[in-house]
Amino acid sequence: MKLCSQDITPDSLSGAIFALEGIRDAAVILNGPTGCKFYHSAISDSQFPRGSSFDPLAYPEQFYFGQPRLPATCLDGYDYVYGSADKLEQILPAAAKGHRLAAVVNSPGAALIGDDLKRLAKKALAGLPCVVLESTGFSGYFAEGFQNALLKVLDCIALERRRKIPGSVNLVGISIYHKYFAGSIKEMKRLLEMCGIEVTAVLCAGDRLRDLQNLPEASLNVVLYPEYGLELARRLYERYDTPYLASEEGPPIGFQATEHFLRKVAGSLGADPSPALQALDRGRAACFQHLSRFHSLTGLPGGNAFSVKADPSTAYALTNWLSSYLGMIPAAVETTQCGRSEFTGKLAALLAGAGLESTLARPVNATAADLVFADGATIAQLKTRHGNCCGIEIALPSLGYIDVAEKSLFGPSGAMMMVEQILNALRFL
């Protein structure tokens, strides 16, 4: 048999769950079987741990099944026939206790049986705001589920338009499912603070409900990953009159895209980007020293073949940076399924401009390359076929490395981390 290995990416159900799990003080309850719970609970807990213990006996068998996150009603065949009302009435008050917001998400099966979640939640959670997602879609895009869920949160907390605080922004379009999300957000906040810009809220990766409640006060919504935030930013503009900005260079990955991003945000707010640009220069300088030495010994990294598998905007920013800054040559560039993105066309144009449009037709997990920037599964698959390559993880699922020191994909910290990994990967090629 020929190799049949397909990339089965998370869909709108996961997008919705991770959007809601990104609210630090929300209780997210899955109305569904434990088959849908275990995976999401494990990923949420490993990406965004909120408790120190992983003692399964501390998380009751009923609803939690020994895991800290995502209590579930544990629907079975009987519930699909008779409805889930009884289980929801039991779980909701218990699971929502001590939280500022409750969210109930139907699994795909539960979405078919039509229980009136809103009525049940209202009855069981007197007074506590509760977001209800009766259907997150079937096989929809992760980004779609993510943004739709956040819009429901905003519906639920019913924010009014407010006076804008000058020099303040919301960061939009990043989830706890993004690799190094916490470090990337921290890096963005650091750089923006250097420009005198304050971050009001991050939609939606780690903030509390009260942060989200302040989001209409921000003067600008800054989109980080456009696939996950552009539509949301448009809707926020309609609701709260908050203008938005998404960089044409994609997310702030690599030095050029970060510089462009910082100039654009600062320019929109009349802020001075110089201190942040100086930090960027320092990063460049540090990289220069290492690159220069490495280059004089090996002639690399220029000319090395690299592959990228990522969402279109990330693939665009990375490909552009690796080609123009490090002089590396793309071998395969593959974009993940995430709905419409203007970066699909931009990426094609970028590669066509270099006469490399054929790289878009090559699967990353089957194309030989010196370096591959992708999720852990793709890296492992490529290594089974072309052992002589090195993988740099930029997306989930991970190969299994546990990050203790916070890392960023964005800004100078991200660029330096990637240069570091590239240099360490190429020494014995």
Partner 1 sequence: MRQIAVYGKGGIGKSVISANISAALALAGKKVLQIGCDPKHDSTRLLTQGAQITTVLDYLKVTPPEACRLGDVMATGFGGVACVEAGGPEPGVGCAGRGILTTFDLLERLGIDRLDFDLVLYDVLGDVVCGGFAVPLRRRYADAVYIVTSGEFMSIYAANNILRGLQNYDGELKRAGGLIFNRRGIEDEAGRVERFAGAVGLPVLAAFPRSDEFSLAEAEGTTLVERCGDSAIARTFKDLAARLLERSELFQASPLTDPNLEAIVLQNASPDALPVLAAAALKEKEDAPGDPDDLVAGDRPKRQFLSKNVLLREPLHGCAFNGAVNVTVQIGDAVTLAHGPRSCAHISYQTISSIGRKMFFERGLLLPVQLSPPLVSSDMNEGVMVFGGLEELKGKIEELKKYDPSAVFVVTTCPAGIIGDNTDAVRDPAGLGGIRVIPVKTDGDISGDYLQGVITAYMDTARALIKRDVRPAENLVNIVAEKTIASNTEANFETVRDLLAAVGVSVNCRFICKTSLREIENFLRAKINILAYEDYMGRTIRDFLQEEYAARFLRRPFPVGFFETERWLAEAAACFGREGLAESVAAEHRKKYRSALRKLRPLLENKRLLIITYNHDIDWILETAFDLHMEIAKVCILNYSQDNLFRTRFRDRFELAEDYDPAQRESDLEDLKPDLVLANYAAPAGAACTDTIPLCPAAGFFSGLELAERWARLLKRNSTEGWRKDEALFSRYYA
Q: By CB under 8 A, name the binding residues for partner 1.
A: 1-6, 8-14, 33-36, 38-39, 49-58, 61-62, 65, 74-77, 80, 83, 85, 107-109, 111-116, 118-119, 134-135, 137-140, 365, 376-377, 380-381, 383-384, 397-401
Distance CA 221, CA 234 (A): 9
Burial class (CB in 10 A: 0-12, 13-18, 19+), 238: exposed
For tokens 């938005």, the residue is 244
Query: Toward partner 1, which CB reaches closer, 111 or 266?
Result: 111
Closest approach, Cβ 62 to partner 1, in A, equals: 7
Query: Toward partner 1, which CB reaches closer, 56 or 243?
Result: 56
Residue closest to 41 by CA, chosen among 66, 7, 74, 75: 66
Alpha-carbon separation of residue 270 from 166, 195, 262, 329 (angstroms): 9, 10, 12, 38
Q: Specify whether the CB–CB gap between 21 and 176 falls below 8 A.
A: yes
In this structure, the number of other CB atoms found within 10 A of the CB of residue 106 comes to 26
Query: Toward partner 1, which CB reaches closer, 74 or 262?
Result: 74
Query: Toward partner 1, which CB reaches closer, 120 or 215?
Result: 120
Rg (CA), the chain: 22
Closest approach, Cβ 282 to partner 1, in A, equals: 27
Query: Toward partner 1, which CB reaches closer, 214 or 398?
Result: 398
Closest approach, Cβ 84 to partner 1, in A, equals: 9
Residue ranges in 101-246 assigned as alpha helix (H)? 108-111, 117-124, 142-157, 181-194, 209-213, 226-240
Query: Toward partner 1, which CB reaches closer, 210 or 293?
Result: 210
Closest approach, Cβ 111 to partner 1, in A, equals: 7
Q: Provide CB contacts within 8 A for 151, sequence distance 6+.
A: 232, 235
Closest approach, Cβ 212 to partner 1, in A, equals: 19
Closest approach, Cβ 317 to partner 1, in A, equals: 25
